[in-house]
Amino acid sequence: MEKLKSLVPENLKQMVGSTTADDLPSSSSFLLRLFQQSQLFFQVIGDLTMDPENALCGKKKDAALELKRQGNQCFLNGDYANALVYYSKALLVAPMNAVDMDKNLVATLYVNRASVLHKMDLQLESLRDCNRALQISSNYAKVILKHCRETHCHYCLNELPVDKVPCPSCSIPLYCSQHCQIQAGGPMLRNVSDIQDIFKNLSDDLRMYIQEITLCSFSELRTENVHEHKHECDGVHWPAILPSEIVLAGRIVAKFIAQRGVFADASNLVDMLNLSHHFPEMHTDSKLECIIYSIILLSCLQQFFPSQVEINGNTTSQIAILISQIRTNSISIVRMKSFDAPGSPDKGERLSSVIPFTCNMEQVRVGQAIYTTGSLFNHSCKPNIHAYFNSRTLFIRATSFAAVGCPLELSYGPQVGQLDCKDRLKLLKDEYSFNCQCSGCSIVHISDLVINAFCCINPNCRGVVLDRSIFNCENTKTKDFLTVDDQIILEPIMQTDSFLHAGPSHCLKCGSYCDIKSSRLTVDKAGIHFTRLQQEINLNRVSETTVSDALGALISLKSTLHEYNRRIAEAEDNLSQAFCLLGKLELAAEHCKASIRILEKLYGGNHIAIGNELLKLSSILISVGDHNAADCIKRSSKIFRCYYGSNANTMFPFLNILEEETHKFVSTHL
């Protein structure tokens, strides 16, 4: 991108910077003509769309054979976990028509992986790989399986099983099943015409076993193709190199071509989506990137759609608008991921036999999508609806009562309690090109005042001290809508009758001056100890010395930061995890409770973030035999059902385990 941008003369950059949506075709035409005269441009396009034989993301027999050899060696050594990894990597790069020792290489790899899976007691996955081998080759039938990496299916976006399925024609996508692989537009594995031929060289016992466990029909795998990956296949590697939003734009164009047959009048696509964009307000550099990416994308797509895609000023400008629409309206698809301390229960193992463990839930971004209906909802930093995903489907649930005529608003990312107001405003402006005026950003909230605040130097005063940037942001908010309840909440930390009277670096309650610069140095020094502690937690090895240093640093933080500052909550949480690793669960529970008390002030008591923390606390309480675990589970379950409805237990599988353990615990103490 930088090399192509360097070709653009300054006068053309200035013209692009002043471009609006109306004159975008003209600017795009100038850039297109410039690049069409550049050898560098054609070199870039050639690199992105090279022929399958030389393609970076193409299938390579030699690489597959070497990975197979390493897998075989691991299998012979009894190292089944690594054998699984090598066989899976080999499947990713093995060409479908490759032959090894007179047998289909892909079928051989599926059989080898099935054998590993069988050794690892993963019978279902082994069964599926057996069927895949049967579909490909008439020469093989055995038993196998493999270990799951922390990746997700390229179609349904669910976490990959251990028997993930690669694309038969390129080495980019992995799928959780053949169903997803076919739905994404991948070719069908060919059916075996005579299954009996596969069995002829096997012993009677093995033949009978395979006939029992393998599917009798593969017809259920035939589904309607969704043209999502076909144009990205055959080893071209632009889908792996270009940013995800550009690849998403390519998929939208491919779907449009599948429906209309040609991509000549691109304005139809932009009008069909009917989504807002902020191209005129974008920075000059961002506009230039959009136009260059649109030229690159069209050039790549033209390799697959030679007669359906035209490259001219009009189509280039409309793709630039499409990219702007995606940047403004796309929704991040997330999954809940559990990051658990050693000894977390797996496969239904009883909690009491594997203590201690903590349920540490976190949202992980796994995809990006355009939902035309979902994009109609406005943003609020204090949303009243929650969006979540089950496979590729977007679900919307109200999380609080909404009166008739009240707008339904979801969060595009930042929320009150997560970031302070000035940081939320900056993120939304940078990412979505609008100035947020929601209730969370226009009305005073205790969370925005305390989340990054310092404490008063007077030990008897609970007032907040703000730095200049936060003070200036809060000072622009409306004070007229503070209810009596709001004033009661804010009263301990500030004088509500003379709002923000003291100014930055002064206590908003008593007016005492605080040296912000000195306070920041203290916080930074304490942060070094918590950085070291977090590193040891990540390695699952925590030393008593590091924990002792962190406890001393916590005292420094509490003497410098306001009691509800988010950094104190994070420090308490780190110490809770550390004490879990040391087996000191009572101390872990106390620090976890301290963290939750702060987060309740920042988010409110019924926020999903509190539900995640209660899950963690309940697991510790069960481990130490504290009957209060039942109340924690009940409260977290109520929060999750508010946000996820009937899918709560699917999204949070630890809920079932914890509820079962709680029932056992309560029943034994009655």
Beta bridge partner(s), residue 641: none
User: Which residue's entry shows tokens 């008739």?
Assistant: 404
In the prediction, which pLDDT does 590 show? 97
- Which of residues 465 and 120 earns the better pLDDT score? 465
Tell me the mean pLDDT in the region 114-119. 81
What distance in Å separates the CA atoms of residue 401 and residue 269, rounded to the nearest whole number?
37
Asked if pLDDT for residue 552 goes beyond 60, the answer is yes
pLDDT band at residue 533 using 50, 70 and 90 as cut-offs: very high
Mean predicted lDDT score pLDDT of the chain? 78
Asked if residue 73 lies in contact with residue 112, where contact means CB atoms within 8 angstroms, the answer is no
Tell me the mean pLDDT in the region 387-406. 80
User: How would you classify residue 534: left for phi > 0, otherwise alpha for psi between -120 and 50, otherwise beta?
Assistant: alpha
In the prediction, which pLDDT does 382 show? 92
pLDDT above 90 covers a percentage of the chain that reads 24
Determine if the pTM surpasses 0.75. no
pLDDT band at residue 140 using 50, 70 and 90 as cut-offs: very low
For the segment 608-639, what is each residue's pLDDT rounded down to a tens digit? 999 989 988 998 998 888 888 889 989 999 99
Of 388-392, 497-501, 579-583, the least confident: 497-501
In the prediction, which pLDDT does 3 show? 73
CATH class in words for 61-221: mainly alpha
Tell me the mean pLDDT in the region 317-328. 88
CB-facing half-sphere around the CA of 648: CA atoms within 13 A: 21
> What residue type is assigned to position 479 of the chain?
K
In the prediction, which pLDDT does 483 show? 55
Q: Cα 226–372–303 angle (5° rounding)?
A: 45
pLDDT band at residue 189 using 50, 70 and 90 as cut-offs: very low
For the segment 12-55, what is each residue's pLDDT rounded down to a tens digit? 777 878 788 777 888 888 778 877 777 777 777 776 665 555 45
Asked if residue 563 lies in contact with residue 598, where contact means CB atoms within 8 angstroms, the answer is yes
Is there a cis peptide before residue 356, judged by omega within 30 degrees of 0?
yes
Asked if residue 369 lies in contact with residue 331, where contact means CB atoms within 8 angstroms, the answer is yes
What distance in Å separates the CA atoms of residue 578 and residue 572, rounded to the nearest whole number?
10
In the prediction, which pLDDT does 349 show? 42
Tell me the mean pLDDT in the region 430-457. 89
For the segment 63-82, what is each residue's pLDDT rounded down to a tens digit? 888 999 899 999 888 899 99
What distance in Å separates the CA atoms of residue 155 and residue 601, rounded to the nearest whole number?
39
516-668 has the same fold as 61-221: yes
Asked if pLDDT for residue 278 goes beyond 70, the answer is yes
Asked if pLDDT for residue 540 goes beyond 50, the answer is yes
Nearest one of 601, 606, 607 to 493, comparing CA atoms: 601
Asked if pLDDT for residue 154 goes beyond 80, the answer is no
In the prediction, which pLDDT does 103 show? 67
- Which of residues 153 and 356 earns the better pLDDT score? 153
In the prediction, which pLDDT does 514 show? 94
CA dihedral 414, 250, 190, 101 (to 10 degrees): -90
What are the boundaries of each domain within the chain? Answer: 2-50+239-329, 61-221, 516-668
What is the β-pairing status of strands 378-379 and 409-410?
parallel
In the prediction, which pLDDT does 648 show? 85
In the prediction, which pLDDT does 46 show? 72
In the prediction, which pLDDT does 516 show? 95
pLDDT above 70 covers a percentage of the chain that reads 76
Q: Is 361 helix (H, G, I), strand (E, B) or coil?
A: strand
For the segment 345-387, what is each residue's pLDDT rounded down to a tens digit? 343 444 433 334 455 666 677 777 887 767 778 889 999 988 8
Asked if residue 87 lies in contact with residue 67, where contact means CB atoms within 8 angstroms, the answer is yes
CA 442 to mean position of chain CA atoms: 29
Asked if pLDDT for residue 178 goes beyond 90, the answer is no
What distance in Å separates the CA atoms of residue 663 and residue 657, rounded to the nearest whole number?
10
pLDDT band at residue 341 using 50, 70 and 90 as cut-offs: very low
Asked if pLDDT for residue 195 goes beyond 60, the answer is no
For the segment 403-441, what is each residue's pLDDT rounded down to a tens digit? 777 888 888 878 999 999 999 999 988 888 788 999 889
| Residue 89: burial class (beta carbons within 10 Å; 0-12, 13-18, 19+) | buried
Asked if pLDDT for residue 342 goes beyond 50, the answer is no
- Which of residues 9 and 408 earns the better pLDDT score? 408
Give Cα separations from 123 to 87, 143, 149, 214, 648 (angstroms).
17, 8, 18, 11, 28
In the prediction, which pLDDT does 262 show? 75
User: Which residue's entry shows tokens 């670096």?
Assistant: 505
For the segment 567-605, what is each residue's pLDDT rounded down to a tens digit? 999 999 999 999 999 999 999 999 999 999 999 999 999
Domain 516-668 part of CATH 1.25.40.10: yes
Asked if pLDDT for residue 226 goes beyond 50, the answer is no
In the prediction, which pLDDT does 536 show? 95
Asked if residue 641 lies in contact with residue 648, where contact means CB atoms within 8 angstroms, the answer is yes
Asked if pLDDT for residue 145 goes beyond 60, the answer is no
CB-facing half-sphere around the CA of 170: CA atoms within 13 A: 26
